[in-house]
Amino acid sequence: MTVEVHLGTERRVVGTAQDNADKRADMRGALRRVDEMVADGFLSVRGEAKWRFQTEYSAVEDWREFVERPTCGGLEADTRLIDAALARPDGRVTVTEDNLAVVYERLLPGSGP
């Protein structure tokens, strides 16, 4: 996830935030299982949608809650710039995450691709 600092109309990328290792492992395991089901002919890919999910923080308490959440795997960002932005009335921090959703169709036995 990309972390940006906004001061008035200026914006600057200051680093990244990661999901924790358990969450990443769970996601990878689920994706592997779905890939196996597609390869074995149980599912067929019908479409996909990509989007960006953005969360905005303008209060120090809200930002700390984000960083301290159980699924947060760490922050690799300039925390001095983040703290400075959140100390200003026109400052805020945004976290942007790219997302992908795939639509699958369940195939009946013998109706594979």
pLDDT digits (tens, 9 = 90+) for 15-36: 999 888 888 888 899 999 999 9
Task: Indicate the pTM of the whole model.
Answer: 0.75
Q: Which two tokens stand for residue 46?
A: 């019908």
Q: pLDDT, tens digit, for every residue of 53-86? A: 999 999 999 999 999 888 888 899 999 999 999 9
* Per-residue pLDDT, 110: 63
As a whole number of angstroms, the distance between CA 7 and CA 63 comes to: 16
Task: Indicate the burial class of 112 (C-beta count within 10 angstroms; 0-12, 13-18, 19 or more).
Answer: exposed
